[in-house]
Amino acid sequence: MNKIAEKYADEIQKIIAKYPPEEKRSAVMSLLYIAQREDGHVSKQDISEIAEILEMTSTEVATLIGFYTLYYDKPGAKYRIQICNDLPCALRGADEFITKLCEKLGIQIGETTEDGLVSVEAVMCLAACDKAPMFQVQTGDGLEYHELQSVESTMELIEKWKAARDSQVS
Ligand code: FES
């Protein structure tokens, strides 16, 4: 069954209408965003739907997911915390921040917490070099940046996400 093509038909049509018919493949990033917004990753089904809608090959669509670090082709944590530990941030304690945060969450870098809520990744420069420790995270509402973080402030944020998830479940 078509997932995004049917569910978001109107939204997709509005996006495609912004481009000349012969350039509709330019809408690919927006359609990938819609697919990932749905459940946190872009599935094989999503890839083939997007390819069909935009008259591209599945390989062309999949290549973009591989290229951009904010797209995922596998299910993962609801909140993927991407912490910069590039040199300037490392000099401001990013590595220690990552280690202590992972310890607190009971995971290693790259892993997801048992409840599936949070994962922690180390990434390259996110253009906030004087605000380390800092990270970016995709929420259902877009990409958020959290700067000048401590383990405590990040754990508080995670508690808020947990409460929001629990209130949706109950
Ligand atoms: S080095 Fe970390 S944000 Fe630039």
How many domains does the structure of the chain reveal? 2
Contact 117, 78 (CB under 8 A): yes
Q: What is the mean pLDDT of the chain?
A: 93
Q: Is residue 91 in some structural domain?
A: yes
Say what the pLDDT of residue 121 is.
Answer: 94
Q: CB of 155 closer than 6 A to ligand 1?
A: no
Which is the closest atom of ligand 1 to the Cα of 88? 1
Clarify whether residues 50 and 109 are in a common domain.
no
What average pLDDT does range 84-105 have in this prediction?
A: 97
Amino acid 108: pLDDT: 97
Q: The domain that contains 164 carries what CATH number?
A: 3.40.30.10
Whether residue 120 has pLDDT greater than 60: yes
pTM above 0.95, yes or no: no
Six token digits for residue 149: 């973080």
Tell me, using a 6 A CB cutoff, whether residue 86 lines ligand 1.
yes
pLDDT greater than 70 at residue 170: no
What is the predicted pLDDT for the residue at 70? 85
pLDDT grade, residue 115 (50/70/90)?
very high
Statement: residue 23 has pLDDT above 80: yes
Q: Which residues contact 73 (CB under 8 A, 6 or more apart)?
A: 41, 42, 43, 44, 47, 62, 65, 66
Q: What are phi and psi of 41, to 5 degrees?
A: -155, 165
Q: Which of 84, 130, 147 to mutate to test the pocket of ligand 1 (most atoms within 8 A of CB)?
A: 84
CB distance 111 to ligand 1 below 6 Å: no
